[in-house]
Structure 1
Amino acid sequence: MDVSLDLSGRHALVVGTARAARRIVARYRAGGAVVVLVSAGDACARLGRVAAGTDATPPALVVWVDGRQALREVLAEHASRLRIWFVTEQGAPELPRGQVTLVGGGPGDTDLMTVAGRRALAEADVVLFDRLAPQELMAQWAPGAEFIDVGKTPGHHAVPQGEIESLMVDHALRGNRVVRLKGGDPFVFGRGGEEVLACRRAGVPVTVVPGVTSAISVPAAAGIPVTHRDVSRAFTVISGHTPFTEEELAHLVGLGGTIVVLMGVNTLPHLAAGLQRHGMATDMPLAIIERGYSIAQRTTVTSVGGVTPLLATVAPRSPAVIVIGEVVRVAAWDDGRNAESHDLVRTIADLAP
């Protein structure tokens, strides 16, 4: 697009097929133009009406994407005679077989989307996105792409995993570039491994763009390091969507270090009781960070022994990350008081300098 031409509210003819011109149409519409996608023959007819003075809204611009070269020359000549701008742009190539890219979108903050993830979205024809994926700028990042919401909420999978995999494969086999956009990292409790296998079984090329995992970034947003010198030299990331076995609880206590729990709000009472049953001190600090990186971020600091009575009052909800360990005491915003002596709820406003 020639940035010297103000297209706000003005008509632009884009000449080509819907597939080839998809991103170009989206870009001009984003610039404020009234875009009409036409064939080369229809474009010639439209300029004929402009020349005859019978077109009430003559275009300010003609954008050639694809079609017969002879018609391109005719259109360019007509546009020049009518003093209408004429430009040529490269359309999306036709692919015999598409591809799938799994993109980790990070914890939800658009600034934490990787450069590689943005690049994959810019080239996407179809985007299948999750509930926790960064959605605010999707239309800008993937102009003109088809967006398919396959998001899941706790206990409710509107689109079953098998159907998500079928959608990815089917769109790719039609020659589309498919992006599977997820929150966090695709391979950290994101079922990315299953989706990669589904693509490989179907013979569809697949790549993975890692994302910033909430297991580390969300505690960091609350000022909590998952490791800290002389405090914790290891951290364990676990999924809490189902209750833990006694063997798992015993291993978690025995490992020491920091425990980071994803998807664990509903099983937190069971976890807290089980950890104490296997020898964890009741005053071990515990933090719940809800809605990390959003304006509604809230951090609740308590202890393993004190969390269960507190839940009825605080009523934490997903998405939330739970951190258990001495690192909670060294949070950047801690005022020096021990977790066992108080229950502290902080919002993101409280954490501001």
Structure 2
Amino acid sequence: MLTEPLPDSLLVPFAPGSVWLAGAGPGDPGLLTLLALQGLRQADVIVHDALVGDRILALAAPAARLEFAGKRGGRPSAHQDDITSRLIELAREGHRVLRLKGGDPFVFGRGGEEAEALAEAGIPFRIVPGITSGLAGPAYAGIPATHRSTNQAVVLATGHSNNGGPDWKALAATGVPLILYMAWKALPDIAAALREGGLSPDTPVAVVTEATTERQDTLVTTLGTCVADLEASGLEPPAIIVVGEMVRLRPQLDWLQGQRAGQVPHG
């Protein structure tokens, strides 16, 4: 646990009766921002998601109260309205409230909805961006989100949506690689739609599970076989799924696997 005080020059006011909507990053505590660390150290109450790990929560001040507000697909979860109401209630009681979310609160984290509710209730709040798992997970697997030799754009999309989700055929027609969040269950439909939209079955696919944690694992497959390969892999979510040519760079850039093996990655 870090005990050294943060320099005053790095601190910003965290006033009683306010809420910080902060990203905890993808899992590795080293990827926390300094503002997120300040929030952990100064908050009276920390309302955290399921994907915020124990190593990060251990950085909280000893007097801070932790409240679990996890939302995981297929498991009992807190209702979003209840979470938002709780943030407002805690702030009105005069607490410094840290709403700690995995990744970045504004990237498929429903942070925008919570910020809207706080604004409507007249609660002061601050947004503390975090490193999103859709960029960090592939990077820890040796897969760049963009590379001059493969792609100059990338699409971040969610496979879980209440309004039908993206038009996968239209996205396929752009030829732009995809980084998919929460797409595990929907992958059979997504893969089929992408092929119908013109993507080759040989398009490289990578599935990165438990991004940036000590349990991270990566399956490299293709669009044509990814559903069967994932089913046979024994892997489990949470996962980030990458669809695109930059996956082919992994053998050269897989620094983490090389580090685990005590080697330097090479082509």
Indicate the residue corresponding to 1:327 in structure 2: 246
Indicate the residue corresponding to 2:60 in structure 1: 141
Indicate the residue corresponding to 2:119 in structure 1: 200
How many angstroms apart in 1 are the aligned matches of 2:81 and 2:163? 26
* Unmatched runs of 5 consecutive residues or more in structure 1: 1-29, 31-94, 336-345
Cα shift readout 1:159-216 (whole Å, capped 9, x = no counterpart): 1110100110001001110000000000000000111111111111011000000110
SS at match of 1:215: helix
Q: CA deviation at 1:297?
A: 1.1
Q: CA deviation at 1:292?
A: 1.2
How many angstroms apart in 2 are the aligned matches of 1:108 and 1:196? 23
SS at match of 2:59: helix
Q: Say if 2:147 is the partner of 1:212.
A: no
Q: Say if 2:74 is the partner of 1:152.
A: no
Q: Which has the higher contact order (CA 8 A, sep 6+)?
A: 2
The one-letter code of the counterpart of 1:197 is: E
The one-letter code of the counterpart of 1:131 is: A
Query: How many residues align structurally?
Result: 250
* Unmatched runs of 5 consecutive residues or more in structure 2: 4-14
Q: Mark the CA change 1:162 to 1:194 in structure 2 (over 3 Å): closer, same or farther.
A: same
Cα shift readout 1:24-62 (whole Å, capped 9, x = no counterpart): xxxxxx9xxxxxxxxxxxxxxxxxxxxxxxxxxxxxxxx
Q: Identify which range, 240-249 or 276-285, moves more after superposition.
A: 240-249
Identical columns (%): 38
Indicate the residue corresponding to 1:123 in structure 2: 42
Q: CA RMSD in A?
A: 2.5
SS at match of 1:156: coil
Q: Say if 2:87 is the partner of 1:168.
A: yes
Indicate the residue corresponding to 1:55 in structure 2: none
How many angstroms apart in 2 are the aligned matches of 1:264 and 1:305? 16
Indicate the residue corresponding to 2:12 in structure 1: none
Indicate the residue corresponding to 2:209 in structure 1: 290
Cα shift readout 1:100-146 (whole Å, capped 9, x = no counterpart): 00010000111111001111222211100001124324243333111
Indicate the residue corresponding to 1:266 in structure 2: 185
Q: Contact 1:299–1:347 at 8 Å: present in 2 too?
A: no
Cα shift readout 1:216-271 (whole Å, capped 9, x = no counterpart): 01000000001111310000000012599697012211222220000111111111
How many angstroms apart in 2 are the aligned matches of 1:249 and 1:176? 44
Residues 237-256 of structure 1 aligned to structure 2 (within 5 Å): 237-242=156-161, 248-256=167-175
Q: CA deviation at 1:332?
A: 4.8
Indicate the residue corresponding to 1:277 in structure 2: 196
Indicate the residue corresponding to 2:102 in structure 1: 183
Q: Mark the CA change 1:196 to 1:123 in structure 2 (over 3 Å): closer, same or farther.
A: same
Q: Mark the CA change 1:301 to 1:253 in structure 2 (over 3 Å): closer, same or farther.
A: same
Q: Identify which range, 157-166 or 259-268, moves more after superposition.
A: 157-166
Q: CA deviation at 1:334?
A: 6.8
Q: Mark the CA change 1:277 to 1:236 in structure 2 (over 3 Å): closer, same or farther.
A: same
SS at match of 1:153: coil
Q: Mark the CA change 1:191 to 1:238 in structure 2 (over 3 Å): closer, same or farther.
A: same
Partner residue of 2:223 out of 286, 304, 311: 304
Q: Mark the CA change 1:352 to 1:323 in structure 2 (over 3 Å): closer, same or farther.
A: farther
The one-letter code of the counterpart of 1:121 is: L
SS at match of 2:78: coil
Q: Contact 1:297–1:348 at 8 Å: present in 2 too?
A: no
Bigger strand fraction: 1
How many angstroms apart in 2 are the aligned matches of 1:109 and 1:139? 13
Indicate the residue corresponding to 2:17 in structure 1: 98
Partner residue of 1:313 out of 216, 232, 239: 232
Q: TM-score, normalised by structure 2?
A: 0.86
